[in-house]
Amino acid sequence: MIRVVVVGANGKMGRETLKTVWNAEDMELVGAVDTYGEGTDVGLLIGAGPLEIRLENNLEEVLRRVRPDVAVDFTGPESVYENAQTYLRNGVRPVIGATGLLQEQINEIVEQSEKAGLGGLIAPNFAIGAILMIKFAAEAVRYLPHVEIIEMHHDQKIDAPSGTAIKTAEAILEQRGEQFSQGLPGEIEKIRGARGGDFAKGIRIHSVRLPGLVAHQEVMFGGLGQTLTIRHDSITRESFMPGVLLGIRKVMNLERVVYGLDKLLFEF
């Protein structure tokens, strides 16, 4: 049995993860951490009745007491970096879904995990379909190098652009290369930001935040007399759970943290 702690457990993704781990036959839910709702029985959060596991707000104390194998983190940009260091310091494998980490922070987490010999995962998106979207986009850009990304999320998401959009742009740039630059020289924005954020070499990322959305992304390619759109939609947060389970299971056999669920799908 894989012993799992869920961090950010009182959030929407945290609650979905609690339910998923609780119902997994090869996992044991041993703790739940959140800064809100301390003392609440997690069974009440997932409609399972009392489970005798209560929300706590001292992450390090929980890790030392229950000794989990894996910590699944759905917190936020303001805490995830320090949380990751806490996991590795306590010999716990992190599975991180919170976005907002800077590239230098990701590099440091990977380096620390290698020294500790601990597997882990940082995943901007856990939806299998979203990972396939990124893979297909990287293939399409070989033939249609003009591309823009539109990502759309619920209005409670505080970071923009999304980690998925950044991961998509990285994959596109890696495949397309630096030699190509799109866009009109001297382009004028009448309203600053109207053309989106320029990731690199004219790869524009546009972020939409509206109530009613969950997580959606379009990668739009333009060519001579044609366009191609690759789109993925997460309709409910359940869409992320197969990827979360995959991550929990796979990191048990890794010796360092990897970035992106695609690494587990296509390389291990």
Residue 73 CB neighbours (<10 A): 27
* Pairing verdict, β 197-200 and 146-153: unpaired
Please confirm, yes or no, whether 153 is among the known catalytic residues. Answer: yes
Distance of CA 173 to the CA centre of its chain: 20
Query: Of 12, 19, 154, 157, which residue is the catalytic one?
Result: 157
- Helix, coil or strand: residue 95: strand
For residues 163-194, one letter each, b for 16 or more C-beta atoms within 10 angstroms of the residue's C-beta and e for the rest, the string is bbbbbbbbbbbeebeeeeeeeeeeeeeeeeee
Rounded Cα distance, 36 and 82, in Å? 18
- Order of all β-strands in the sheet with 197-200: 197-200, 203-209, 146-153, 215-223, 226-234
Backbone φ and ψ for 109, nearest 5 degrees, come out as -60, -45
Which uninterrupted H or E stretch holds 220?
strand 215-223
Query: Of 12, 19, 146, 153, which residue is the catalytic one?
Result: 153
Q: Give the contacts of 226 (CB within 8 A, at least 6 positions apart).
A: none
Rounded Cα distance, 39 and 98, in Å? 23
If you search the block for the tokens 């999304």, which residue do you land on?
Answer: 162
Q: What is the CA radius of gyration of the chain?
A: 19
Catalytic residues: 153, 157
